[in-house]
């Protein structure tokens, strides 16, 4: 496959940045998207040019670092897929592929396609954990949890914090991410002790960091690589209102 790439290049946070055109040739359809970028970078290095900076780690759809906005979609056109799991067979020979970083004020660009997502870490630090002293580790079946709640909590905990929901939202809302982190604890007995303070602190930090409000367009759910449900947002809203009124 021969492809034309329009890649966002930005040397530093202070740099204005621009799209730069590249050509890649003889790319196998079985090549992953990140491997295609590896091939491009090898060619750039051989020419003495600066390679394209992009984030990655596990390359197995686990860490969520491979945050690329591809042809108008976070992580690309494949549903329920991270960028590292995307393969070139999803594109056609001769296609033009536009690649840029997440566009959100709380996610400033560090270089090229790498953004600073530490805002998510700050939200987690406000309450995305259980700090109550529980003594020794109990047996796995010692605390009865109904299957529905256990399944919902596990579904919410599948969130990898990649930021695709923020990138997909026209208001750069982080409500899907925050609601998933709230839900995974709110549904379990271990998380109920701090539930009210947790939701108030995490929502307050989200607002403080400049994330927008939910637009109810379902774009976050549609683009989430782990298919986190927006029902978590409704749950978080109920928790938040209840915490404020109590």
Give, as one character, the DSSP assignment of residue 89: G
| 41-56: b (≥16 Cβ within 10 Å) or e | beeeeeeeeeebbbbb
Containing H/E element for 74? strand 73-74
Residue limits of CATH 1.10.1060.10 in the chain? 118-245
- Average pLDDT over the chain reads 95
CA distance 64 to 69: 13
Crossing angle between the packed helical segments 118-125 and 175-186, to the nearest 10 degrees: 30
Bridge partners of 9, per DSSP, are: 18
Lookup result for tokens 């409500």:
175
Domain 118-245 CATH assignment equals 1.10.1060.10: yes
Query: What is the model's pLDDT at position 136?
Result: 73
Q: What is the pTM of this model?
A: 0.93
The mean pLDDT value for 15-36 works out to 97
pLDDT at 122 exceeding the cut of 80: yes
Q: Are the C-beta atoms of 89 and 122 separated by less than 8 Å?
A: no
pLDDT tens-digit map of 140-153: 677 788 999 999 99
pLDDT tens-digit map of 43-75: 999 999 999 999 999 999 999 999 999 999 999
Residue 232: φ, ψ to 5°: -65, -35
pLDDT tens-digit map of 184-238: 999 998 899 899 999 999 999 999 999 999 989 999 999 999 999 999 999 999 9
Domain 3-110 CATH assignment equals 3.10.20.30: yes
The mean pLDDT value for 114-137 works out to 88
Residue limits of CATH 3.10.20.30 in the chain? 3-110
Containing H/E element for 21? strand 18-24
Nearest to 178 by CA among 199, 193, 196: 199
Query: What is the model's pLDDT at position 133?
Result: 66
CA distance 157 to 201: 19
Q: Are the C-beta atoms of 220 and 175 separated by less than 8 Å?
A: yes
Query: What is the model's pLDDT at position 144?
Result: 83
């Amino acid at each position: 496959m021969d492809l034309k790439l329009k890649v966002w290049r930005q040397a530093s946070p202070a740099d204005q940045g621009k799209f730069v055109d590249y050509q890649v040739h003889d790319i196998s359809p079985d090549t992953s998207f990140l491997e295609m970028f590896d091939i491009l970078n090898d060619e750039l290095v051989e020419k003495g040019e600066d390679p394209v900076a992009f984030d990655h780690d596990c390359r197995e759809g686990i860490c969520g670092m491979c945050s690329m906005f591809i042809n108008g979609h976070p992580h690309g056109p494949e549903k329920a897929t991270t960028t590292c799991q995307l393969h070139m067979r999803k594109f056609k020979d001769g296609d033009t592929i536009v690649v840029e970083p997440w566009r959100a004020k709380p996610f400033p660009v560090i270089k090229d396609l790498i953004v600073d997502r530490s805002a998510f870490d700050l939200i987690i630090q406000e309450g995305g954990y259980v700090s109550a002293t529980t003594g020794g580790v109990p047996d796995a079946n010692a605390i009865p949890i109904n299957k529905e709640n256990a399944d919902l909590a596990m579904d919410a905990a599948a969130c990898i914090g990649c930021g695709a929901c923020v990138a997909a939202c026209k208001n750069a809302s982080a409500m899907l991410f925050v609601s998933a982190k709230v839900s995974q604890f709110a549904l379990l007995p271990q998380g109920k002790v701090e539930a009210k303070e947790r939701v108030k602190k995490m929502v307050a930090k989200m607002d403080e960091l400049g994330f927008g409000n939910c637009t109810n367009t379902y774009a976050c759910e549609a683009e989430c690589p782990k298919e986190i449900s927006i029902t978590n947002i409704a749950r978080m809203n109920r928790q938040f209102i209840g915490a404020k009124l109590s």
